Every structure is written in C-alpha cells, then in structure tokens.
Amino acid sequence: MTDPVSSIRNLGPAFEQSLAKVGVHSAEQLRDLGADAAYEMLLRAGHRPHFIGYYVLVMGLQGRPWNDCKGEEKKALRVKFDAMKERAFDPAQSEFERMMDQIGIRAPGT
C-alpha cells in the first residue's frame, strides 16, 4: 500500500487533489519527483504560481514545518521559483488550450 500525498507534512487534501490531476497519486511518487519537478508539473497544467505553496512543498518533503523557510534559504528558493514560473507558466494560455495540449489535440504554440 502507498501513502497518500497528504501524509507528507504540510500537505493537505487540496494539494493532494491538485497533484492527482497531474498524475502524482502517492507520497512515494512525490518524493521520487522532488519538489521542483512536481511543482513545475502543476504550473504546466495551468495552476496559478504561488511562492508560499512552493516552499511549503519543499519544506514538507524535508520533513520541516512550512514556516521554517527563512532568510537566505527563502531567498534562494524564490530565485528557483521565479525561474520555474518563467519556464513553465503561461498566463496568456487559457485552461481550455492547456487541456487540448495535454491530450494532444493541438500542437503547442498553434
């Protein structure tokens, strides 16, 4: 039996549901992917970027409380988050277009 995503510290049912929509169905899968890859999957699927959500995930995978992220560590995570957001999130693309891309109905960029 596998552990649910919500068994990871800081992560609740809403985050678990969001990850399930991008194919991550267990805590083990999430640990194998890591915070950056998993969060980027969410962004590519059209989830709105939110820095706190990202660092909560990072802290959770490290077994730390969400509010343990401070100082230089938080600044470094912000740099990673901003680069990830730039790379993976297109605010101009509609949810419908993202869905079509995911199922292969239209080629990206058309």
- Could you read off the pLDDT of 75-95 as tens digits, one per residue? 999 999 999 999 888 776 656
DSSP for 42-107 reads HHHTTPPP-HHHHHHHHHHHTT--GGG--HHHHHHHHHHHHHHHHHH--TTS-HHHHHHHHHTSS-
Residue 110 has pLDDT above 70, yes or no: no
Top-level CATH class of 5-103? mainly alpha
Q: How far is CA 83 from CA 3, 56, 63, in A?
A: 31, 17, 24
pLDDT at residue 81, as a whole number: 96
Kindly indicate the confidence band of residue 3, based on its pLDDT and cuts at 50, 70 and 90: very high
- Could you read off the pLDDT of 9-49 as tens digits, one per residue? 999 999 999 999 999 999 999 999 999 999 999 999 888 89
Residue 97 has pLDDT above 90, yes or no: no
Domain extent listing, the chain: 5-103
pLDDT at residue 68, as a whole number: 94
